Homo-oligomer: A and B are copies of this chain.
Amino acid sequence: MKARITVTLKPSVLDPQGKAIEGALHALEVPGIKGVRQGKVFDIDMDDMAADAATTTLKAAAEKLLANLIVETYRIELV
């Protein structure tokens, strides 16, 4: 089965990388951009298991390794 974990900065945390991208898009004259925030996405291929068990596994993966819970939040999707 496939799953996706999306890790994004908490809204209160500054994102200088996103700011730089926003500036670059303005310089490239892409219109109408008011803000950009960058995050990470992890596409995970895993053994078939019940949705409950898969969510528990992915939660462990996110909290032990993929997300820094001090400044980031994560979202799990089973696909």
Contact = CB atoms under 8 A, between A and B. Distances in A.
Number of copies: 2
Given A41-B40, A64-B28, A65-B28, A46 B21 contact: no
Interface of A: 6, 8, 18, 21, 24-25, 28, 30-47, 49, 54, 57, 60-61, 64-66
A33 B42 CA distance: 12
A73 to B, nearest CB: 12
A44 B39 contact: no
A57 to B, nearest CB: 6
Given A30-B57, A34-B47, A36-B45, 9 more contacts: A21-B42, A28-B60, A30-B61, A30-B65, A32-B46, A33-B46, A33-B57, A34-B46, A38-B43
